[in-house]
């Protein structure tokens, strides 16, 4: 039976697919974030179209592309301007730290202003760009440029009405630039319903980048999108970008990436009682912690404890506040024993205070992205995230926070977020819907009872670790946050004054029990003393009786001796041998009864009295015997 071939591609096709194909060469722009979105920069030796409405940052993007190429890669560039003069351009970008005059002296940059007035243009006969090509060639050769910026195309073709001429000359311009092998950026103004006014440039360009500057609820936001990129993959979503004192920065994040690394290291929360509730040193390194609660529950104080503990370990930290200024935070935290000012002076801590309305959602994300990229902190606090809902839809705020959390997780930054829960709202929920994204969720709340408000907290969840299920009362003191051991009474967990009253009652009962025990102890001691006295009396009586008994024994022994002597004398008087006794007196029988028991003292006295007459008779007998012999 013939063998069957496995289905699949032919060997020739498989081998050709497995071979490594050459990748499109790219040129770095030096713009933070943009090179990541485009996976390396713009296409080398080709033309990139940069389009957008007025004020969106086209000129700044182009200037930064040339400056970074000259300073970072040593590639000279040419900037051809049709609207601004060389002097204006130099002054405008000086505020961003770009010294164009210095680059011109070093032959790293050439600026050529071409003046074009619509009133001076007369369309007659054939029109071409030969004059522009000559001007460009001279500028490129003057510095040996590898980079070129033409700002803007609308000025070049603004005086022409023939669509065919514009289309043909555009193709000629793009072909001429490609033949030169120079990497070019062309700026163009956005048209109505099209990317450019003429609607042609985007079709002949190899790469098209759209800049957008939109205003929503009086808050402006800048965004960037790569519309097309021939020969290369790229990020196709909208990316927020920021223009600040250092130039243009793009935030290369759109969705949450779940490929971040995790750590088993635990870091201190700054509160010993909270560490105990987490059954260990504290939070996981690189995790996200959410602290929620109503106003006045101590959320900012918890966050400040975390930051202070991190700074004490020498770790760089950022505290982003949307409600309090830097000086206000430092003053308030000193009242609970936290000196954050020393860490600010040491450069370990940065406190960034912004109003939520200072930027749009994307602007806040861009600011944080740049701040984290420049400062490289290990820990970040954002207090509170609930302000993100001001002037924005909750879903938009949710998306922004997802991107923010993902960005910080990818960098291994430990994040603590605080969220204000509005009165009457569910405590175990957030308007931004980020509770499912966090690793540890701590809830603080204020309870009213017995005419007072008490603070308490509990750990709602903490992924990857066991934790306490108890509700713990805490106090904000001059020494910081102190967790109080839980007290469970007959009516449940007692806090505040109720706990203090119950504890006082128990101390009183314990004192009463102690007094009763002491009284019982005194009674026992008294009884022991009485018993000891009785024992002493009995011992004295026993001693007296013992002495009397021993005296009686001695008297009995003397009496026995006298009996033996008397018998011996009587025997001698009768002519018998002069020995005391033929048989010794049984001392045992004399001292004891017939049954072998020892007679009592009274019995001994009675026996002695009964034997007294016999003793007198014996004496009388001896006297009569003596008289008869005489």
Is there a catalytic annotation at residue 83?
A: yes
Do 514 and 587 sit in the same domain of this protein?
Answer: yes
The active-site residue out of 36, 83, 202, 276 is 83
Q: Are 98 and 68 spatial neighbours (Cβ–Cβ below 8 Å)?
A: no
pLDDT of 460: 92
Return all residues near 513 (Cβ < 8 A) that are at least 6 apart: none
Residue 38: CB atoms within 10 A of its CB come to: 25
Give percent of the chain above pLDDT 70.
Answer: 79
- Indicate whether 367 and 295 sit together in one domain: yes
Say if residue 493's pLDDT is above 90.
Answer: no
Which residue among 315, 323, 324, 341 is the active-site one?
Answer: 323
Distance CA(321)–CA(339), nearest Å, equals 17
Q: Looking at 2-11, 270-279, 494-503, which range is the least confident one?
A: 2-11
The last residue of a domain, from among 250, 280, 301? 250
Question: Which residue among 431, 458, 485 closes a domain?
Answer: 485
Q: pLDDT, tens digit, for every residue of 353-378?
A: 988 877 777 778 888 888 998 899 99
Q: How many domains are contained in the chain?
A: 3
Domain containing residue 375: 266-485
Q: Which of 220-234, 495-509, 589-603 has maximum average pLDDT? A: 220-234
* Mean of all residue pLDDT scores within the chain: 81
Q: Which of 428, 450, 485 is the last residue of a domain?
A: 485
- Per-residue pLDDT, averaged over 204-232, amounts to 87
Q: Is the pLDDT of residue 327 over 70?
A: yes
Same domain for 541 and 433: no
Q: Of 206-215, 316-325, 345-354, 590-599, which range is least confident?
A: 590-599
Residues 453 and 545 in one domain: no
- Contacting residues for 489 by C-beta, under 8 A, at least 6 apart: 498, 499, 502
**323 belongs to the catalytic site:** yes
0.85 surpassed by pTM: no
CB 155 within 8 A of CB 83: yes
| CATH number of the domain where residue 137 is located | 3.40.50.300
Any residues with CB less than 8 A from the CB of 550 and at least 6 apart, and which?
Answer: none
Judgement on whether residues 37 and 173 belong to the same structural domain of the protein: yes
Judge if 334 and 461 occupy the same domain: yes
Q: Is residue 234 part of a domain?
A: yes
- Strand 219-229 to strand 109-113: parallel, antiparallel, or no bridges (unpaired)? unpaired
Residue 539 has, within 13 A of its CA and on its CB side, a CA count of: 6
Rama region for 580: left / alpha / beta (φ>0; ψ in -120 to 50; rest): alpha
**Burial category of 228 from C-beta neighbours within 10 Å (exposed 0-12, middle 13-18, buried 19 and up):** middle
The three-class DSSP label of residue 52 is: strand
Q: What are phi and psi of 557, to 5 degrees?
A: -65, -40
Domain match, 182 and 299 both: no
| Residues 478 and 516 reside in one and the same domain | no
**Is residue 12 domain-resident?**
no
Q: Is residue 10 part of a domain?
A: no
Cα gap 388→406, rounded to integer Å: 17
């Amino acid at each position: 039976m013939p063998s069957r071939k496995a289905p699949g591609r032919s060997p020739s096709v498989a081998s050709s697919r497995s071979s490594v194909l050459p990748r499109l060469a790219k040129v770095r722009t030096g713009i933070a974030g943009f090179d990541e979105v485009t996976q390396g920069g713009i296409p080398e030796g080709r033309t990139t179209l940069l389009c957008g409405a007025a004020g969106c940052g086209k000129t700044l993007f182009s200037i930064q592309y040339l400056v970074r190429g000259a300073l970072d890669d040593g590639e000279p560039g040419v900037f051809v301007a049709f609207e601004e003069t060389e002097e204006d351009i130099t002054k405008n970008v000086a505020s961003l730290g770009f010294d164009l005059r210095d680059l011109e002296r070093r032959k790293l940059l050439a600026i050529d202003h071409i003046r074009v007035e619509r009133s001076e243009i007369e369309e007659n006969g054939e029109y071409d760009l030969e004059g522009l090509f000559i001007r460009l060639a001279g500028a490129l050769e003057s510095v040996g440029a590898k980079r070129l910026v033409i700002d803007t195309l609308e000025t070049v073709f603004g005086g022409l009405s023939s669509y065919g001429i514009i289309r043909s000359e555009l193709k000629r311009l793009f072909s001429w630039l490609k033949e030169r092998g120079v990497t070019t950026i062309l700026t163009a103004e956005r048209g109505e319903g099209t990317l450019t006014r003429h609607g042609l440039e985007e079709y002949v360009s190899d790469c098209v980048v759209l800049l957008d500057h939109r205003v929503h609820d009086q808050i402006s936001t800048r965004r960037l999108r790569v519309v097309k990129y021939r020969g290369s993959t790229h990020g196709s979503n909208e990316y927020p970008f920021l223009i600040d004192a250092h130039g243009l920065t793009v935030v290369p994040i759109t969705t949450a990436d779940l490929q971040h690394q995790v750590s088993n290291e635990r870091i201190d929360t700054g509160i010993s009682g909270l560490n105990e509730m987490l059954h260990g040193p504290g939070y996981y390194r690189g995790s996200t912690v959410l602290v929620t609660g109503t106003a006045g529950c101590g959320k900012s104080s918890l966050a400040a404890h975390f930051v202070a503990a991190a700074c004490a370990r020498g770790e760089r930290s950022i505290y982003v506040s949307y409600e309090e200024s830097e000086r206000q935070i430092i003053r308030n935290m000193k009242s609970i024993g936290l000196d954050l000012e020393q860490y600010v002076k040491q450069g370990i801590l940065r406190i960034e205070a912004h109003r939520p309305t200072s930027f749009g959602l994307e602007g806040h994300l861009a600011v944080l992205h740049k701040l984290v990229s420049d400062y490289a902190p290990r820990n970040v606090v954002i207090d509170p995230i609930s302000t993100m809902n001001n002037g924005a839809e909750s879903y938009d705020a949710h998306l922004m926070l997802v991107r923010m959390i993902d960005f910080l997780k990818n960098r291994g930054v430990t994040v603590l977020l605080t969220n204000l829960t509005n009165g009457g709202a569910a405590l175990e929920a957030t308007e931004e819907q980020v509770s499912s994204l966090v690793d540890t969720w701590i809830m603080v709340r204020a309870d009213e009872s017995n005419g007072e408000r008490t603070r308490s907290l509990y750990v709602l969840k903490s992924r990857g670790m066991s934790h306490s299920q108890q509700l713990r009362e805490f106090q904000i003191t001059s020494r910081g946050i102190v967790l109080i051991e839980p007290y469970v009474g007959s009516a449940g967990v007692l806090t505040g004054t109720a706990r203090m009253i119950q504890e006082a009652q128990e101390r009183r009962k314990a004192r009463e029990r102690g007094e009763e025990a002491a009284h019982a102890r005194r009674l026992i001691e008294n009884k022991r003393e009485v018993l000891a006295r009785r024992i002493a009396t009995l011992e004295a009586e026993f001693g007296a009786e013992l002495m009397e008994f021993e005296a009686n024994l001695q008297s009995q022994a003397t009496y026995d001796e006298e009996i033996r002597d008397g018998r011996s004398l009587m025997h001698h008087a009768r002519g018998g041998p002069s020995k005391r006794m033929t048989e010794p007196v049984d001392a045992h029988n004399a001292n004891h009864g017939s049954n072998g028991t020892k007679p009592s003292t009274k019995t001994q006295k009675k026996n002695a009295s009964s034997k007294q007459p016999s003793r007198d008779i014996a004496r009388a007998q001896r006297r009569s015997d003596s008289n008869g012999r005489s």
